[in-house]
Structure 1
Amino acid sequence: MGNSFGCSASGERLVSAARDGDFVEAKMLLDCNPCLAKYSTFGGLNSPLHFAAAKGHNEIVALLLENGADVNSRNYCGQTALMQACRYGHWEVVQTLLLFRCNVTRADYLSGRTALHFAAVNGHVRCMRLVVADFVPSAPYESLNAQKLSDRTDSSNSKTKNEQSSLSKLVNKAADGGITALHMAALNGYFDCVQLLLDLHANVSAVTFHYGTSMDLIGAGSTPLHYAACGGNLKCCQILLARGASRLSLNCNGWLPLDVARMWGRHWLEPLLEPNSDLPIPIFPPSNYLSLPLMSVLNIARECGLQFSASASDDADICAVCLERACSVAAEGCAHELCVRCALYLCSTSNIPSESSIPPGSIPCPLCRHGIVSFVKLPRSSAKEIKLPLSLSLCTPCMLHPREQDVSETVGSPDMRKKRVDSVSSDIFCPVTCSPFPSVAIPLCTCNEGPCPNFDAGESDHQEESPQRSQSISDEQEKMEGMRLEKTTCSSMFWGRRSCSREHQCNAEINA
């Protein structure tokens, strides 16, 4: 037996090579049959690209993409290789996938999580800043911050401007239950992620959907401050309050953030979260992981490629950092020249202390320490060496041009919030039952009297209700909801039991 390519044995060999990081084996198989790059497993529909991205084998990821692998291929759960790389924090793989123009706005089928959600729930801040690289312009941070402040003061146009902002749409994109990346980072106490998201215009007042959430112990309609109070991280609560979070916000259970902190035993947060608290809140500078020149150098790398090896006959200057490749980009301001690979690595890995003298969000030049906000391409850098797969021109929308609204982007519309009943996988909150909450054991199922109800019964209920729903919801809205409307009846605490089992099936293949 085999899949559509009829090469099951060779495909499984490529999967094993991608999982184990055997570059020689992978290259030999792809040289014999490049179509193997599009192979997918039978159970979880994971491609070799999923395995290589999850394990962090960057060279194999690049090899697969150069041989025609679809950068946006989905597995059985709708997860892409970018989501797998962000889940495990492999920022170099994320960087390679971005060079091949992966779609960073796609959401999985189970719970509507984007790559930004996967990075935020595990605290991978480098992956987060790479995911948003195409949406943060290479401009001085002061001008961006001034625009944000002007939007706040102009109450009549602030909502419209935020809806039109691609960056705001990506950062504030809600998964099932209305949970944003800021909720996840605040819950798990990742201060660097919270700080970066707030600098990227994350909505500090975003609330989870009122019809329910995956964590009833926090409550539906909760803000990121409620989640930070549950997590117990003091700095996360402080920066949320400093950026405009309200201590008086009530969720659907009528709980203040102070009530959530008391319920979870976070007594050290009570003086800060008291409604009449007079504790001073520190002023937080911009995030150390804000990288403004990343967009410019990423576009240059896509256009010209990463390899510019200078021969003896070339008159191009050699990069003073790596001493191997020819200089292809120049820093605006100091005009020092670097190769595009070194410039991209510098923008992806730098962590500049807040006390630095350079402007916020800029990267220090490795030669003179001058703050770099943008890179420009040198005139002699014209070769294009990144070979994009042919499938990209057919299935990958460009992130920098207008496109039709994706189905996954309709999550945040007010009408859809009232009518959708989605499920959130309990895997989103895996840290809740792990190290951040060692003293709290949250059951995955509350059906203690007997076995869990059969999901077929839930499906039959859904089918019986569908005629009534069709009378109140238009056909167009039902199309947009699609297969995401799925009702499970197992637990009032975690809805996505069946979704969770599906995801475990896909991940079991990768981690086997």
Structure 2
Amino acid sequence: MSAGNEETRRDTECQSGTEYFSNPLMSDVASDWSPIHDAAYNGRILALQRLIAQGTCVNLHTLDKVSPLHGACMQGHTACAKLLMENGANVNSSTADGQTPLTEACAQGHVTCVSLLLQHGAASLGTSQSSSPIHRAAAKGHPECIEHLVQYGADVDQHIDKVGSPLQVACNNQHLSTVKKLLQLGACVSRTASGDSLLHIAARLSSPELVSVLLDHGADRFSMNSEGKRPLDLATPSSPAERLLRQAGVSPGVSPLMQLCRLYIRKITGKQRLGGICDLHLPTALIQYLLYQSDLRGDLMH
């Protein structure tokens, strides 16, 4: 095959998403970092445009299978990511340890990049258990990323062996705003990957904030773990968390009946249809209450 034909074949395959290593003969990862990786990672859009115009493959990979798109998304350079995808970058390519551009963007909380990747066909569920975008966002505490992922089909209860659900990951890392967002989106409050419930985890961490929000979403304070202990048994004595667990677990100013009704309506609706509550012919205050956007504080008592 002539050099010209080889170059034509290579250009065609590059545009179709075929992976190319920047220098497969090099064993040193640092020396494997190419000019197009450098431009994408550092947000040098003009240099990136020039390299692409010169025919540099947008799917060039390092030996660790890091693509220029990975680099752009790690740093949140949306313009560079957009340019790469418009020129054929593989949006679902995986690194040697299974990370996609989307998981990298989620881990760093780059919401605009996350949205752009999803619009260009990034897999919201990930390409393997090790590349779950929603788990990465939950572990790092980025609720805005989680909201975008769910809009594009991510499952708030996606289970990973030995890790559990995104909600369990967020609880373990004590990311309260992320826990609230997942629960608001319909995450199951009782699902775990271990013998402890989420409330057991919150009690072990002695976190009154986590205990409160879990109870408010229907967590069972009398549930037993694999050791036969209740969450109360694990809380630090005389701590705010222990006091909450001894109480009814209902928000101040809201009757137990209202709380039970909210939990039942959300259960019957199902997490896939929670967004439809906004379209019901109900008072705005009641819709906000059902969606955990308001605790009412007596708004409906009058």
Give yes or no for TM over 0.5. yes
Q: Which residue of 2 aligns with 1:448?
A: none
- For the structure 1 residues 221 and 30, does the alpha-carbon distance in structure 2 shift closer, same or farther, using more than 3 Å as the test? same
Match of residue 251, structure 1, among 217, 225, 239? 225
Q: Which residue of 1 aligns with 2:190?
A: 205
Q: Give the letter aligned to residue 63 of structure 1.
A: L
Q: Give unmatched runs, 5+ long, in structure 2.
A: 1-17, 24-30, 264-271, 292-302
CA distance in 2, matches of 1:114, 1:278: 36
- For the structure 1 residues 177 and 7, does the alpha-carbon distance in structure 2 shift closer, same or farther, using more than 3 Å as the test? closer
CA displacement, residues 156-211 of structure 1 (integer Å, 9 cap, x when unaligned): xxxxxxxxxxx6xx111112215111112222332222222122221111021xxx
Deviation at 1:88, TM superposition (A): 0.6
CA displacement, residues 110-164 of structure 1 (integer Å, 9 cap, x when unaligned): xx451111111111111110111134xxxxxxxxxxxxxxxxxxxxxxxxxxxxx
Matched, 1:65 2:85: yes
Deviation at 1:255, TM superposition (A): 3.1
Where does 1:261-340 land on structure 2 (aligned, <5 Å)? 261-262=235-236, 267-274=239-246, 277-278=247-248, 280-282=250-252
Q: Which residue of 2 aligns with 1:479?
A: none
Matched, 1:180 2:180: no
**SS where residue 61 of structure 2 aligns?**
coil
Match of residue 237, structure 1, among 211, 229, 233? 211
Where does 1:103-502 land on structure 2 (aligned, <5 Å)? 103-108=123-128, 112=130, 114-135=132-153, 170-208=155-193, 220-262=194-236, 267-274=239-246, 277-278=247-248, 280-282=250-252, 360=288
- For the structure 1 residues 232 and 67, does the alpha-carbon distance in structure 2 shift closer, same or farther, using more than 3 Å as the test? farther
Q: Which residue of 2 aligns with 1:102?
A: 122
Deviation at 1:266, TM superposition (A): 8.9
Q: Which residue of 2 aligns with 1:53?
A: 73
CA-atom RMSD, angstroms? 3.1
Contact preservation (8 Å) 2:22, 2:61:
no
CA distance in 2, matches of 1:47, 1:71: 10
Deviation at 1:108, TM superposition (A): 4.1
Contact preservation (8 Å) 1:41, 1:47:
yes
- For the structure 1 residues 37 and 13, does the alpha-carbon distance in structure 2 shift closer, same or farther, using more than 3 Å as the test? same
Match of residue 58, structure 2, among 6, 27, 37? 37
CA distance in 1, matches of 2:95, 2:187: 29
Contact preservation (8 Å) 2:141, 2:170:
yes
CA distance in 2, matches of 1:226, 1:131: 28
Deviation at 1:98, TM superposition (A): 1.1
CA distance in 2, matches of 1:185, 1:10: 35
- For the structure 1 residues 358 and 72, does the alpha-carbon distance in structure 2 shift closer, same or farther, using more than 3 Å as the test? farther
Contact preservation (8 Å) 1:230, 1:266:
no
CA distance in 2, matches of 1:103, 1:37: 19
Q: Give unmatched runs, 5+ long, in structure 1.
A: 136-166, 209-219, 287-291, 296-331, 333-355, 362-512
Contact preservation (8 Å) 2:40, 2:77:
yes
CA displacement, residues 462-500 of structure 1 (integer Å, 9 cap, x when unaligned): xxxxxxxxxxxxxxxxxxxxxxxxxxxxxxxxxxxxxxx
Identify the structure with the greater helix proportion. 2
Deviation at 1:245, TM superposition (A): 0.7
CA distance in 2, matches of 1:50, 1:238: 38
Matched, 1:77 2:97: yes
CA distance in 2, matches of 1:97, 1:17: 19
- For the structure 1 residues 205 and 126, does the alpha-carbon distance in structure 2 shift closer, same or farther, using more than 3 Å as the test? same
Q: Which residue of 1 aligns with 2:12?
A: none
CA displacement, residues 245-280 of structure 1 (integer Å, 9 cap, x when unaligned): 111222223332223333xx8932111123xx3465
Contact preservation (8 Å) 1:37, 1:68:
yes
Contact preservation (8 Å) 1:11, 1:39:
no
Seq. identity, %: 30
CA distance in 1, matches of 2:60, 2:229: 50
CA distance in 2, matches of 1:66, 1:192: 34
- For the structure 1 residues 18 and 75, does the alpha-carbon distance in structure 2 shift closer, same or farther, using more than 3 Å as the test? same
CA displacement, residues 407-435 of structure 1 (integer Å, 9 cap, x when unaligned): xxxxxxxxxxxxxxxxxxxxxxxxxxxxx
CA distance in 2, matches of 1:254, 1:178: 22
CA distance in 2, matches of 1:117, 1:67: 29
Contact preservation (8 Å) 2:106, 2:142:
yes
Q: What TM-score results when the alignment is normalised by the length of structure 2?
A: 0.70
CA displacement, residues 418-468 of structure 1 (integer Å, 9 cap, x when unaligned): xxxxxxxxxxxxxxxxxxxxxxxxxxxxxxxxxxxxxxxxxxxxxxxxxxx
Relative CO higher for 1 or 2, CA cutoff 8 Å, sep ≥ 6? 1
**SS where residue 232 of structure 2 aligns?**
helix
- For the structure 1 residues 358 and 13, does the alpha-carbon distance in structure 2 shift closer, same or farther, using more than 3 Å as the test? farther
Deviation at 1:232, TM superposition (A): 3.5
Deviation at 1:107, TM superposition (A): 4.9
Q: What TM-score results when the alignment is normalised by the length of structure 1?
A: 0.43
